[in-house]
A and B are shown apart, each in its own frame.
Chain A
Amino acid sequence: MKKIIDLRVTLSERVGAQCVLLKAKPVEGRLPECKPGQFAQLRVDNPETFLRRPISIHDVEGDEISFLVQEVGKGTSWLCSLKEGDLLNAVLPLGNGFTLPCAKSTCPSLLIGGGVGVAPLLFLGKRLREQGVKPTFLLGARSKAQLIRLDAFREIGDVFVTTEDGSEGERGFVTQHSLFTSHSSPLSFIYTCGPMPMMRAVAKLARERGIECELSLENRMACGVGACLCCVEELADGHNHCVCTEGPVFDARKIIDN
């Protein structure tokens, strides 16, 4: 069940160049059940902004929820300025979330993140591991300074890295990583979140190799609950679909390839 909930910030920590890791706990009551790939609408109490900001759920540990917030405008800057002890109002959990494979599946999953798009993959990786599926992460960024929380990902699974300038891991885009050229073990599933051009490239690669693939969109939203229809994405069926309720996670085959 979706809830409007007051949270108290338990940690606010700079991670990477423009990102803050925010952890928070409900002021009272319990955190509702959240799934990897779902998001929260965080209230911004800044007179220069008006709407909430949709932010992926980065992790849930008991009643503590985490968000990775990248400073891109006035709203996210305000969120990044929060300090331990501050209040944060959230509407959550929203959206559909990633599909977790059935417990029988033992084939490995690859979780591909770009920039701050790595955010939902930590929570997803933990849930996959609980199900006995070993996650492998492939994380891309422009340069080393933009890589976020590699240690946290390494605690859950194998981590491969690409940077566009070669300052960490392999040089290039995630889809150019040697994982895809070497004859490694077959993949059953790719999950991806990051910039749209990256996700389209990942989706194409998955399609060519017959690998199931889900991606998470981050269209601009107003309501976050399917009421205003502002955040729509035109899908391959030719119709506009609400990202906040029918997504943000979509089967890659539904995304228009251009």
Chain B
Amino acid sequence: MMADLSVIIGGLALRNPVMTASGTFGYGLEFEDFVDLSQLGGIVVKGTTLKPREGNPYPRMAETASGMLNCVGLQNKGVDYFCEHIYPQVKNLPTNVIVNVSGSTIDDYAETASRIAELECIPAIELNISCPNVRQGGMAFGVTCEGASSVVKAVRKAYPKTLIVKLSPNVTDIAEIARAVESEGADSVSLINTLMGMAIDAEKRKRILSIGTGGLSGPAVKPVALRMVYQVARAVKIPVVGLGGIMTAVDAVEFLLAGATAVEIGTANFIDPSVTMKIVRGIKEYLDRHGFQSVRDIIGALEE
């Protein structure tokens, strides 16, 4: 028996629920030696902003117990560069290519989204209102219902294709934010972005990261992510994309059971660059072992 792995996110048909998380998989090209991209549901490419951004100074990374902190700060060459130089390289990749869009102002977000909307082979964007590493915009929009609503409202007008909104876990009630973006017309929400954290070098009595704080990712955040995906999936009708510390197929299945329709694999790509394909295979094995004919049968299918 071969289980059906296909799922739908807004107008986006995925051959399986496994995607890659923005900022952990480059533009996909970096992983072509390790992964057959045609076996993935989709890839979410690096955060793109209207204007080029240098990001934060080095050091940008600190290893932690079961995870890592980063404060890259959205380094990218801007949407013009993406459209002219990167899009031609990624448009024919054999999977869904989703662009993560970020910005400092509402107009930035809307304009970047409308530029990406013109690219025929990009079927969706993931709106990043949850980057903890930039001073203006980013997470500032994602931590209040008003902020989140105003960005999504503007982008929804500018962007007709599938709109996924990536939520911050650095909030009191993530379900409330999810409902706010749903009511402004988001097709899906993805969660969680990284959790704000800090690393200190006791010997030097200094904070390790250049800007002092960073976003925590990896297995350390998985229980928090699972809880939030569970809460959000019960609060909204739109599909939820779950991410946060997924290292194995069983981790991915847990997110699907918590109510996610699809998952994104992030930091795990650094430990095993071929992990995404293993997760696809593992989900299939799980479904076969439990006699499910479709992956859709396990979405939110927790026993009481």
Contacts and interface: CB of A to CB of B under 8 A. Distances in A.
Interface of A: 1-4, 43, 48-52, 91, 219-234, 239-240, 245
Nearest to B66: A50
A51 B67 CA distance: 8
Interface string B22-36: 011110001101100
Nearest to B62: A220
Contacts of B34: 2, 4, 91
Interface in B262-302: 267, 269-274
B222 interface: no
24 contacts: A1-B33, A2-B33, A50-B66, A50-B67, A50-B218, A220-B58, A220-B59, A220-B61, A222-B267, A223-B269, A227-B23, A227-B24, A227-B31, A228-B23, A228-B72, A229-B55, A230-B60, A230-B70, A230-B72, A231-B61, A232-B55, A232-B58, A232-B75, A234-B57
B24 A49 contact: no
B131 interface: no
Interface of B: 23-26, 30-31, 33-34, 54-55, 57-61, 63-68, 70, 72, 75, 218, 267, 269-274
A52 B271 contact: yes
B33 A233 contact: no
B31 A230 contact: no
A52 B270 contact: yes
Is chain A's binding surface mostly helix, strand, loop or mixed?
A: loop
B63 A226 contact: no
Contact of B271 (A2, A43, A239): A43
B271 A50 contact: yes
Contacts of A91: 34, 273
Nearest to B218: A50
A231 B56 CA distance: 11
A233 B30 contact: no
A183 to B, nearest CB: 40
A4 B267 CA distance: 17
B43 to A, nearest CB: 11
6 smallest beta-carbon distances between A and B, as pairs: A230-B61, A227-B26, A2-B33, A223-B270, A230-B60, A225-B30
A224 B61 CA distance: 13
A239 to B, nearest CB: 7
Contact of B61 (A1, A228, A240): A228
A219 B61 CA distance: 10
A240 B54 contact: yes
Nearest to B60: A230
A239 B63 contact: no
B26 to A, nearest CB: 4
Contacts of A50: 63-68, 218, 271
Contact of A51 (B33, B57, B59, B270): B270
A51 B272 CA distance: 10
B72 A51 contact: no
A121 B66 CA distance: 34
Contacts of B25: 227
B71 to A, nearest CB: 9
B66 A225 contact: no
